[in-house]
Chains A and B, each alone.
Chain A
Amino acid sequence: MSQPLNTTGVHHHAHHFDSADHEFQASKQGMWIFMVTEVLMIGAIFVGYLIMRARYPEAFHEAHKLLNVKLGALNTAVLILSSYTMVRGVSAAQRGNNKLTIRMLMTTIALALVFCVVKYFEYSHKIHEGTLPGGNYTYAELSMPHVPLFFSFYFIMTGIHAFHVLVGIGLMTWMIKRVKSGEITPEFFTPVELVGFYWHFVDLVWIYLFPLLYLLG
């Protein structure tokens, strides 16, 4: 994986790299490592969830019925579609088709916003009926020990995911700005590619969250 330092680079790259490709490879590796960090962070809470679920299967089973599977499925579809538009955006950036890149990034942002709106309705419904984490749980129709724990995990896990979605929207907006400034070319598209990478990760986390929370009986 090591790259001998032979100075042939002509494109946009920082002084300690010898070529744009060298820099791109380094950035990509850095992003992979960051993703591993994210996996460990989210992985820990998944493990906590699975432990508690194994301990209190009835409570978690009853609790999961209170989630809206239709809305969850809708959001899954929305995110999968957004991954597709992101792929098209990145490939357009690689080919230097800035117009298409911007259009695809905007579509992806729109889909991300749809996700957020659906999530907002889900959350506000839960707040309304009182199916809330731990000590805040007030839903009278299902009062079983450890049910509130399910909603603790539900809110934390989907909350962390939603936070990542919001960060993704911010990153994509920034990318649109950079594409518009003409900075992104077929020789230098690293930022767009890495944001795409990030976005797929965010989608992938949801692909795990959806069955784990909404479907698993």
Chain B
Amino acid sequence: MSHSNTATLSNEIHGDNYLNHSKGLKSWLTTLDHKRIGLMYLATVLFFFLLGGIFALIMRLNLMSYGHPVVDANTYNKLMTFHGAIMVFLVIIPAIPGAIGNFVLPMMCGAKDVAFPRLNLASYYIYLFGALFATAALIGGGVDTGWTFYTPYSIRTSGPVILVLLGAFIAGFASILTGLNFIVTLHKLRAPGQSWSRLPLLCWALYATSIIQVLATPVLAITLVLLMMERVFKIGIFDPALGGDPILFQHFFWFYSHPAVYIMILPAMGVFSEIIPVFSRKPIFGYRAIALASFGIALVAFIVWGHHLFVSGQSELANFIFSLLTMFVAVPTGVKVFSWVGTMYKGSIRFNAPMLYAFGFIELFTIGGLTGVFLATLAIDVHMTDTYFVIAHFHYVMVGGSIMGLVGGMHYWFPKVTGRMYNETIAKWSFGFIIFGFNLTFFPQFIAGSQGMPRRYWSQLPEFDLWNRLSTVGSWFLAVGFVMVAYDMIRSARKGPIAGPNPWEALTLEWQTPSPPPHENFIETPVVTSWPYEYKPSRG
């Protein structure tokens, strides 16, 4: 499978890559190249990550000590809403599929592009369009519903709620189209010899993600439409004053939003399924199990939404069933975690930044996942509902899982995307800041939450001051870590040392072509003859 020599040679002759293939802003804005679209997604996602992150920092500052608020209560509610809505709909959901998936998936298949390049570009603009609506709502006075838009409050509260709903609705279609594109690409555009059983695990993870995107997102779309209709036409389906049922909204909302958690986490699992064997220099342990576990998670994802309604008045039988089903999520998840650890076992591990992020991911995600089992337990959840324990739990999963996957993946594919190496020293330090800052921010929230500190409050009681202070200081470390990553990447993209086609000695197809890759990904269509995880302790 080693095309790298001829590929490099050919690239030196032609000097053509996807970055210099055509020039000018217009060539970017109208590009059909999945690699460029991936980068456009990345830039936009990171912009909103910054915005949502700033909101979080202000909120943390506000909660730092009792009696010293930084913003008024109304502003706090709006910051909370936009932090949540932006991070969920505009950052984490599109991040790995839209940015990394777009860049890497077709190359891993050995294809020249995704199946529908035009649709791919459309998906980016739809996402951007949705993001503009959300931004307009922000500028137009803000919204205080929380990102879950629970009825009937979201029907009655003032402010441009409809703009946020429209934003999420539109962005949802971007997600659907990305999923659709990936599924068809995986089915129809694999290179000769790239059989299903040789497909890299990131592709499998993105396949499972795409299924959720295609099946769950439309339910959110119709739910948001109904909510808009509530506000415009008083249809009353979710409004108890008009004979409707607000709990029905919660069912619809979580029918999407629980699986959405797996839209966020499965791609990150895929990223680390690539990174871990490469840096352990060992074949991945449990290839088939990891691939199937992605689908197991996707399947279970659809039948557990009721765990968000344990205290809503849902019947006890339903509570019991949803509690039990939720615990099943831990099984395929555990299969994956053990397979990754099994891959590392007796490997010759290289401690480069991507691998550090893999360690961080396993640590944080395991804590996030296990506290998820706590919360799935009815007797505990009844007490923990709407406390910081829940906040800490899902931040361990979403930031500790998805954002770790995004940042780890950005380091791993950085040499492929830019053709240059990032600075390993800065990368390691920034990882240190992130992992330390993250735990300092969110671990105290588990403790405060278990003592009953309620979520969504603008002001907290003085007895939680210690935990709140630690948490706020942690958020600064976290911020510094991300700023360091940004500094390193912006600098290294122009000044880093030339990376060469395959600096990690990885076996998946995207590394068997020059860096940055040529416009059509490969100089000649690759022919796959082996499994991509046959790593040996010392190679070359």
B525 lies within 8 A of A5 (CB): yes
- With beta carbons under 8 angstroms apart, the residue of B111, B215, B219, B234 that contacts A134 is B234
> Contacts A16-B113, A29-B188, A156-B229: A41 and B234 contacting too (C-beta < 8 A)?
no
Within 8 A of B (CB), among A143-169: 145-146, 148-149, 152-153, 155-156, 160
- The answer to whether A153 and B237 touch across the interface, beta carbons within 8 angstroms, is yes
Complex-state Cα separation, A56 to B230, whole angstroms: 20
Find residues 51-82 in chain B having any chain A CB closer than 8 Å to their own CB.
none
Chain-B contact segment, one of A30-38, A66-74, A96-104, A196-204: A30-38
User: A135 near B242 (CB under 8 angstroms)?
Assistant: yes
> Are A134 and B252 within 8 A (Cβ)?
no
Query: Do A133 and B188 form a contact, CB below 8 Å, given A15-B112, A30-B180?
Result: no
* A51 nearest CB across to chain B (Å): 7
Task: Compute how far the CA of A41 lies from the CA of B112 in the bound complex, rounded to whole angstroms.
Answer: 32
User: Across the interface, do B111 and A30 meet the contact criterion of CB distance under 8 Å?
Assistant: no
- For B219, the chain A residues whose CB sits under 8 A away are 40-41, 43-44
Contact B180 A34 (CB under 8 A): yes
Collect the chain A residues with CB atoms within 8 Å of residue B112's CB: 15-16
Which residues does chain A contribute within 8 Å of B189, judged by CB atoms? 16-17, 26
- A182 CB–B CB distance under 8 Å: no
CB-CB nearest in chain B for A4: B192
Q: Chain A contacts of B179 at CB under 8 A? A: 33
Contact A156 B226 (CB under 8 A): yes
SS of A interface (majority): helix
CB of A5 within 8 A of CB of B235, answer no
Please determine whether A135 and B215 come into contact, CB atoms closer than 8 angstroms.
no
A48/B248 in contact, CB under 8 A:
yes
Q: Does B24 contact A (CB under 8 A)?
A: no
How many Å lie between the Cα of A37 and that of B177 in the bound state? Answer: 10
Measured in the bound complex, the distance between the Cα atoms of B236 and A16 in whole Å is 49
Which residues of A are found within 8 Å of B217, using beta-carbon distances?
37
The distance in angstroms between the C-alpha atoms of A17 and B181, with both chains bound, is 14
**A38 CB to nearest B CB, Å:** 7
B237 engages A26 (CB within 8 Å): no
Q: Contact: B243 with A16, CB < 8 Å?
A: no
Smallest Cβ-Cβ distance to A36: which chain B residue: B214
Q: Given contacts A26-B184, A134-B244, A148-B243, are A44 and B222 in contact (CB under 8 A)?
A: yes
Q: Which residue of B lies closest to A149 (CB)?
A: B243
Could you tell me if A1 and B226 are in contact, using CB atoms closer than 8 angstroms?
A: no
B115 at the A interface (CB under 8 A): yes
Q: With A42-B222, A43-B219, A135-B235 given, can you name 11 additional A-B contacts, CB distance below 8 Å?
A: A1-B188, A6-B192, A29-B184, A45-B226, A52-B237, A134-B242, A135-B234, A146-B243, A149-B237, A149-B244, A155-B233
* Residue positions of A touching B, CB distance < 8 A: 1-6, 14-17, 22, 25-27, 29-30, 33-34, 36-38, 40-45, 48, 51-52, 56, 133-136, 145-146, 148-149, 152-153, 155-156, 160
Residues of B within 8 A of A (CB): 111-113, 115-117, 119, 176, 179-181, 183-184, 187-192, 195-196, 214-219, 221-223, 225-226, 229-230, 233-237, 239, 242-245, 248, 252, 255, 520, 525
13 contacts between A and B (CB under 8 A): A1-B187, A1-B188, A5-B192, A15-B113, A26-B189, A33-B183, A36-B214, A41-B222, A134-B234, A134-B236, A134-B237, A152-B244, A156-B235
